[in-house]
Amino acid sequence: MYKYAFLILLGIQLSTFNLSEWIPLGQPSTAFGAEQWSGTSAAQFLRITVGARQSAMGEAFCAVSDDVMAICWNPAGLMQLTERHLAFSHAFWLGDTNLDFFGYAQKIKGLGALGGGISWLYYGTLKGTNESGDPTQDFGAYDMLWTVSYAGSFTRDVLFGANLKFIRQAVENAGGNSWAADIGLLFKSEVFKGLNFACVFRNIGPELRFADELRPLPYSTTIGASSKFLGDALTIACDVDIPSNQPAVIHAGAEYWQEGMIAFRGGYRTDFIQEHGALSGLCFGMGFNYLFKETGMVLNIDYAFLPYGDLVGTHKFSTILKF
């Protein structure tokens, strides 16, 4: 009952909340000292989300983060794992680009939780031209990220986590490197079971040097809340993402599990609606659980579709093996 009241109040608050008065939409945010990161950022691929389940929920996952993908969303959530998780995610991104992710995480008794992942965005073969516009030799380009994660707990209901990340961008024979850190907190309500609050600070690190030019990383702060209903079959979540040099974005989503086997997901996000229209904010997808009775392992298969304007969208697929 109290959880329903919380979400009703949250919805009323969001409907009357003028975000532009707090953080001017379309202008760099100066919250949490982010003014030092304003301007054109490097490594924008760090803002591309990983995971079909998470994307289908409107990318509102900061306060959920209950699987290995927490590496990419809120490392504090790794403390919620009950098995070892091995994950792979693939996204058919815009144009000929593809984003892939491999990750592994597990809890270690008495130490907390450890995880690691590698993701890369490959741009395919690009047409080379000289200063006159004449064709030259084709070339390739990619972005890559290595992540090591650790999570622990202050108390049973207050979790923390951190990522250490190594970043590389490469175009033809040129490249640039940097490192960054993420810090995440997850607060589980002691009074209302299934109600979580979270906060994550992403991409805290030095500028990336590329072709003798230094550019800051895309620092951002995300705050979120989530709650479970119907015996944990239904999850509703909402995030507010505050980038350093882009408009603030609201994410909202839901996930419903039918008999614990098939999941239906939907969500909405506000980052593309001004440019591509209201429908571009919609996200949806499905998930499937399969139990290997002989071994007790569980395989999750997830799919998401995210539109980006007329007849353009991206498809994401993810699998997680729990053992």
| Structure token pair of residue 295 | 């071994």
- pLDDT in the model for residue 161: 98
User: Which residues of the chain are under the pLDDT cut of 70?
Assistant: 1-41, 94, 126-130, 132-134, 309-312
Name the DSSP class of 21. Answer: H
- pLDDT in the model for residue 307: 83
- pLDDT in the model for residue 12: 35
Of 92, 54, 95, whose CA–CA distance to 72 is shortest?
A: 54
- pLDDT in the model for residue 311: 52
Of 184, 176, 162, 218, whose CA–CA distance to 48 is shortest?
A: 218
- pLDDT in the model for residue 310: 59
Of 53, 78, 29, whose CA–CA distance to 222 is shortest?
A: 29
**CATH number of 313's domain:** 2.40.160.60
Give the count of domains, the chain. Answer: 1
- pLDDT in the model for residue 25: 35
pTM of the predicted model as reported, rounded to 2 decimal places: 0.83
- Residues spanned by the domain of 256: 2-322
- pLDDT in the model for residue 134: 66
Cα–Cα dist 40/190, whole Å: 42
Helical (H) or strand (E) element with 275: helix 273-276
Exposed/middle/buried for residue 321 (C-beta within 10 Å: 0-12, 13-18, 19+): middle
Task: List Cβ neighbours of 80 (8 Å cut-off, separation of 6 or more).
Answer: 65, 66, 70, 159, 186
